[in-house]
Amino acid sequence: MENTTEIFGTHPVLEAIKSGKAIDKIWLAREGNHFKDIISIAKKEGIKTTFVPQQKFRKYQSKNHQGVVAFLSPIGFSDFETTVQDALQTDSNAIFLLLDNITDVRNVGSILRTAECVGVSAVVIPQQGSARIGSDMVKTSAGAIFNIPICKVNHLKDAIYFLQASEVTVVGASEKANQSLFEARLPKPIAIVLGSEGEGIQKGMVKLLDGMYSIPLQGKTQSLNVSVAAALFLYELVR
């Protein structure tokens, strides 16, 4: 059987969604109004659909794409609430990682690699605004992506509420925080929120957190790469 990462055409894409294929996103041509069924069922299944210009389809011109391309994820996603509940039942020191709009594939891949090495119970990413999970991320993670539960949620805020209701402390990592990570005594189970390098953690999300912590910086550079910060936070928790 051919190992493909894309599915082309209206009917094949519809059937792929109905059969439960792990679809990362769907591209639709701007021209045409015959995508209502795809948009409707994709929305119900939490799959992102995007209208893109025709030039995006040029490399697929030998395919009968009909203005529709679905990109398959190399992994299956875990149900968030079930994963959290199962982790808490088996490990009172569970660690969860929430990635807020980190769009660099290599950064996410590196974070997944460290998270798996540390024994993180689950990594949580938003349905929209996160790096695409594809072959590049698999490579950067050194295959760790296949060995750690990854949960996709519609909104990270709802994930934070659920974790806190499950008696999980939720904290954020930020170079702007006044309290040093190395001086903190963080309880477990715990969840760490990491924001994008450009924007950091969204302001509306910061208000929900149980604390914000920074990694001390003594040089002139004002911040660390997010994957490096993730590694330091995770291993400080382990230590």
At 182 the pLDDT is: 87
**Segment 136-154 mean pLDDT:** 90
| 6-72 and 80-238, same CATH topology | no
pLDDT band at 91 (very low <50, low <70, confident <90, very high): very high
C-alpha distances in angstroms, 139 versus 68, 74, 151, 216? 27, 11, 19, 31
Tens of pLDDT along 9-33? Answer: 889 999 888 887 778 889 998 766 6
The pLDDT of residue 3 is above 50:
no
Residue 34 tokens, joined: 């015959």
Residue 21 neighbours by CB distance under 10 Å: 16
Tens of pLDDT along 36-78? Answer: 889 888 888 778 888 888 888 888 888 888 889 998 888 888 9
Tens of pLDDT along 167-223? Answer: 999 999 988 888 888 888 888 999 999 998 778 899 899 999 999 998 888 887 777
So where are the chain's domains?
A: 6-72, 80-238
The pTM of this model reads 0.78
State the architecture of 80-238 in CATH terms.
3-Layer(aba) Sandwich (3.40)
The answer to whether 229 and 194 have CB atoms below 8 angstroms apart is yes
- HSE-CB for 118 with a 13 A CA cutoff: 25
The pLDDT of residue 81 is above 90:
yes
CB contact burial 172-187 (16+ within 10 A = b; e otherwise): bbbeebeeebeeeebe
Write out the CATH class of domain 6-72.
Answer: alpha beta
Cα gap 43→37, rounded to integer Å: 10
SS3 content of the chain, % helix, strand, coil (to 5): 40, 25, 40
